[in-house]
């Protein structure tokens, strides 16, 4: 009960921020929430199930293009586009997983990396359809959701908030369910899980599909809310970003991805006043977290104070 | 040009790619073989080699060959020193845990890339080739320097092979590769072996970068493709097998040259990345490797 109350409080706080923040920060916060959806999807695979993927950009891009291309070519609306993004991410993750999950550990990382790279190059290769490197701006008709114009501040924030809250609470319910315990069991000791009668392959595949669906939803939302789709979203950087957020905030915690995304945005914002070298900060944070806080902020807090934190 | 000479040109270009790739990939393979570390920052060591070569050739007065000769020595040594530092400060403290080191080297990649952008700038800059020789075939003229690159890579690789199989240092490295705990029990300083291996691997990447820079120019993002291709080569050749790496570098380099020239470079890369994924899934020991126990 306490767990639900604290997580609902986070959701309520974010809703209030939408009305309190000045436009610049509200737009940033909308972006953070969409990227947090992506990171929460990543966290399901990496944080809870121990599947360290370097290819989640593929699922994010699958979502952005599954939503963006029908909008661009056929004038689809935003609501069906978001659903297409969710499905696109899930389906691509399922197909990738069928092959990649035959490997584990370092091989799994490299296989996912290679699939994502092949996906990125494919987007470039068919640049007549996808817009290639330059990408394309989503037309205004595709950015209307139930009569609200998503290119304006408040509807954009509320849409991002709604998608975030749905994913956030669904993640919480999932990891506290029976299947959530299966996921953690697979992370901690796959052999033992197998002896308990769990089929590791199908369970991991299911996790990867859920993870990919969340990533795809985030991609679709990013496209619809900010009005742009391009092949740069399929680059390795977009596989690293969710990993960074999750590692920083705390792998295997429900609120970790949000915390990591907020902190990284704040850090880059502060650093921007000092230097333009934001990539250096990303790199340094990765190294420092891995060296000194491998469990992330919430992971460390959980060890010390809040034993029951999901 | 007729098809025959065109194919010859494609194969020669592919041979140059293969030579540089074999150097860079053997560094990656060595590090993975001995230390079980997947070094994602390997491409940045390649880039640093090229960038340092640009700085050095700008500073050394005198003829082009002299400046280049200095760069060939200085750049790999500087990069090797940097790698040794990274090993001592980061990798060693992670106890060479495979997944943590990948994340850490991704961080290293970003830091090095940003450092190059800040201190070197976003432009691609040329380095003069050490000599200007043009070989005339009946159909096309060809740069003599490119053939020199192939030759130089061959000599260095032969040296690495001799180092690994004919010297005490190579023996110690191979012993550590087989079992680091037993090696430690026999009085081998494993920490020093690891540091040396990581430095050597980085130095090889840097040397490849120096050799390629008169052909392609130095740029702060130039590490991406070699990293990807080195990965491909090392995996197809069998992780940690130097001979497999060499064979795979030839296969990938030549087919990259041919497919790039007759179809498109992007298509060549798509096929290569998919090939790697399939090799890892269905034949994890590599096409030429033997299954490890």
Cβ separation of B273 and A125 shorter than 8 Å? Answer: no
| Mode of pairing for the β-strands spanning A144-145 and A136-137 | unpaired
C-alpha dihedral sign at A281, A284, A290, A293? negative
CA–CA distance, B145 with B107 (Å, rounded to integer): 35
Do residues A216 and A90 make contact, with C-beta atoms less than 8 angstroms apart? yes
Q: What CATH number does residue A93 fall under?
A: 1.10.3470
Would residue A309 count as lying in a domain? no
Write out chain A residues lying below 8 Å of B93, CB-based.
291
For residue A127, give how far its alpha carbon lies from the nearest alpha carbon of chain B (Å): 11
Stretch 5-24 of chain B: residues touching chain A, C-beta under 8 Å: none
Q: Is the pLDDT of residue B15 over 80?
A: yes
Q: Which of B115, B232, B270 is the closest to A125 by Cβ? A: B270
B103 and A CB contact within 8 Å: yes
- Residues of A within 8 A of B278 (CB-CB) are 99
Residue B293 pLDDT > 50? no
B273 at A interface, C-beta within 8 A: yes
Structure tokens at A151: 């290119």
Using the Cα atoms of residue A2, residue A48, residue B32 and residue B203 in order, give the sign of their dihedral.
Answer: negative
In a domain, A265, yes or no: yes
Q: What is the mean pLDDT of chain B?
A: 86
Indicate yes or no: CB of A287 within 8 angstroms of CB of B108.
yes
Closest residue in A to B96 (Cα–Cα):
A291
ipTM at complex level = 0.77
| Residue B99 near chain A (CB below 8 Å) | yes
Note whether residue A310 is domain-resident: no
**How many residues can be counted in chain B?**
293
pLDDT-based confidence at B81, cuts 50/70/90?
Answer: very high
Rounded CA separation A53/A241 (Å): 12
Q: Which of A296, A285, A265 is nearest to A33 (CA)?
A: A265
pLDDT tens string B170-190: 888 888 888 888 888 888 888
Residues belonging to chain A? 310
Nearest-angstrom CA–CA distance, A33 and A38:
9
Does residue B264 have a pLDDT over 60? yes
**Nearest CA to A61 among A215, A227, A258?**
A215
Sequence-distant (≥ 6) Cβ neighbours of residue A255 within 8 angstroms: A7, A10, A168, A249, A298
Least Cα distance to A229 among A136, A129, A143 occurs for A136
Cβ neighbours of residue A74 closer than 8 Å, sequence gap 6 or more:
none
Q: Domain residue spans in chain B?
A: 8-122+133-282
Beta A144-145 vs B134-136: how paired, if at all? Answer: unpaired
Residue A130 in any domain: the answer is yes
Mean pLDDT of B226-246: 81
**CB-based burial label for A145 (10 Å; 0-12, 13-18, 19+):** buried
- Cβ within 8 Å of A, B 219-238: 228, 231-232, 235
Contact between B99 and A109 under an 8 Å Cβ cutoff? The reply is yes
| DSSP symbols for B35-69 | H----TTHHHHHHHHHHHHHHHHHH--S-HHHHHH
What is the pLDDT, as a whole number, of residue A210? Answer: 96
Q: Do A291 and B104 touch (CB under 8 A)?
A: yes
Domain coverage including residue A150: 2-304
Which residues, given as ranges, of chain A have pLDDT below 50? none
- Strands A148-149, B141-143: pairing is unpaired
Average pLDDT rounded to a whole number, residues B49-58: 92
Strands (E) across chain B are located at 134-136, 141-143
pLDDT at res. B290: 53
Per-residue pLDDT, A129: 82
Q: What is the DSSP string of B88-120?
A: IIIIGGGTT-HHHHHHHHHHHHHHHHHHHHHHH
What is the C-alpha end-to-end distance of chain B, expressed in Å?
Answer: 52
A54 CB neighbours in chain B (<8 A) are 102
Cβ-contact A188, A49 below 8 angstroms:
no
How many domains, chain A?
Answer: 1
Q: What's the CATH code, domain B8-122+133-282? A: 1.10.3470
* B132 CB neighbour count, 10 Å cutoff: 10
Distance from CA of B190 to the nearest CA of A (A): 21
Count of C-beta atoms within a 10 Å radius of residue B1 = 10
Beta carbons of B114 and A125 less than 8 Å apart: no
- Render pLDDT for A88-103 as a digit per residue (tens, 0 to 9): 999 999 999 998 898 8
- At B88-147, the pLDDT tens digits run 998 888 888 877 888 899 889 989 998 998 888 888 888 888 887 787 777 777 788 888
pLDDT at A276: 67
B33 by Cβ neighbours in 10 Å (0-12 / 13-18 / 19+) ranks as buried
Pairing of strands A228-229, B134-136: unpaired
B78 contacts B236 by C-beta, under 8 angstroms? no
Nearest to A121 among B107, B235, B273 (CB): B273
- Predicted local distance difference test score (pLDDT) of residue B51: 94
């Amino acid at each position: 009960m306490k767990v639900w109350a604290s997580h609902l409080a986070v959701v309520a706080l974010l809703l209030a921020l939408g009305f309190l923040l000045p436009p610049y920060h509200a737009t940033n916060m909308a972006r953070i929430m969409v990227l947090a959806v992506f990171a929460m999807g990543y966290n399901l695979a990496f944080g809870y199930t121990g599947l360290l993927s370097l290819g989640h950009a593929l699922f994010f891009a699958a979502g952005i293009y599954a939503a963006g291309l029908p909008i661009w070519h056929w004038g689809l609306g935003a609501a069906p586009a978001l659903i297409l993004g969710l499905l696109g991410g899930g389906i691509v993750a399922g197909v990738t997983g069928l092959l990649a999950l035959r490997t584990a550990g370092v091989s799994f990382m490299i296989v996912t990396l290679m699939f994502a790279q092949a996906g990125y190059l494919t987007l470039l290769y068919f640049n007549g359809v996808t817009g290639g490197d330059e990408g394309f701006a989503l037309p205004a008709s595709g950015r209307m959701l139930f009569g609200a114009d998503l290119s304006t501040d408040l509807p954009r924030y509320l849409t991002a908030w709604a998608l975030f809250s749905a994913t956030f609470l669904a993640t919480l319910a999932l990891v506290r369910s029976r299947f959530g315990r299966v996921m953690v069991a697979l992370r901690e000791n796959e052999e033992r899980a197998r002896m308990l009668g769990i089929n590791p392959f199908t369970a991991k595949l299911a996790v990867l599909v859920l993870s990919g669906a969340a990533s795809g939803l985030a991609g679709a939302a990013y496209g619809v809310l900010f009005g742009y789709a391009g092949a740069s979203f399929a680059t390795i950087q977009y596989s690293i970003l969710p990993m960074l957020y999750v590692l920083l905030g705390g792998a295997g915690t429900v609120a970790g991805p949000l915390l990591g995304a907020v902190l990284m945005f704040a850090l880059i914002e502060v650093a921007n006043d000092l230097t333009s070298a934001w990539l250096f900060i990303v790199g340094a944070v990765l190294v420092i977290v891995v060296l000194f806080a491998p469990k992330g902020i919430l992971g460390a807090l959980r060890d010390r104070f809040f034993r029951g934190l999901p | 040009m007729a098809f025959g000479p065109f194919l010859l040109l494609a194969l020669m270009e592919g041979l140059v790619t293969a030579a540089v790739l074999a150097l860079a990939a053997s560094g990656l393979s060595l590090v993975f073989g001995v230390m079980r570390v997947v070094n994602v920052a390997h491409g940045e060591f390649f880039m640093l080699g090229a960038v340092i070569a640009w700085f050095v050739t700008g500073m050394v007065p005198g003829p082009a060959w002299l400046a280049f000769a200095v760069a060939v020595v200085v750049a790999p040594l500087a990069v090797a020193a940097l790698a040794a530092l990274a090993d001592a400060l980061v990798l060693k403290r992670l106890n060479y845990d495979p997944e943590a080191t990948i994340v850490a080297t991704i961080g290293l990649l970003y830091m090095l890339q940003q450092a190059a952008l800040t201190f070197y700038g976003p432009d691609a800059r040329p380095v003069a080739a050490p000599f200007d020789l043009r070989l005339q075939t009946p159909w096309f003229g060809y740069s003599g320097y490119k053939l020199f690159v192939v030759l130089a890579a061959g000599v260095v690789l032969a040296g690495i092979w001799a180092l690994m199989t004919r010297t005490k240092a190579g023996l110690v490295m191979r012993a550590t590769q087989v079992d680091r705990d037993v090696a430690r029990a026999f009085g081998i300083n494993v920490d020093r072996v690891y540091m040396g291996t990581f430095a050597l691997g980085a130095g090889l990447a840097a040397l490849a970068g120096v050799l390629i820079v008169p052909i392609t120019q130095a740029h702060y993002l130039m590490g991406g493709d070699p990293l990807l291709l080195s990965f491909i080569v090392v995996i197809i050749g069998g992780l940690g097998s130097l001979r497999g790496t060499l064979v795979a570098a030839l296969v990938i380099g030549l087919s990259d040259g041919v497919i790039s020239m007759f179809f498109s470079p992007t298509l060549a890369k798509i096929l290569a990345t998919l090939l790697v994924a399939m090799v890892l899934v269905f034949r994890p020991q590599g096409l030429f490797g033997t299954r490890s126990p």
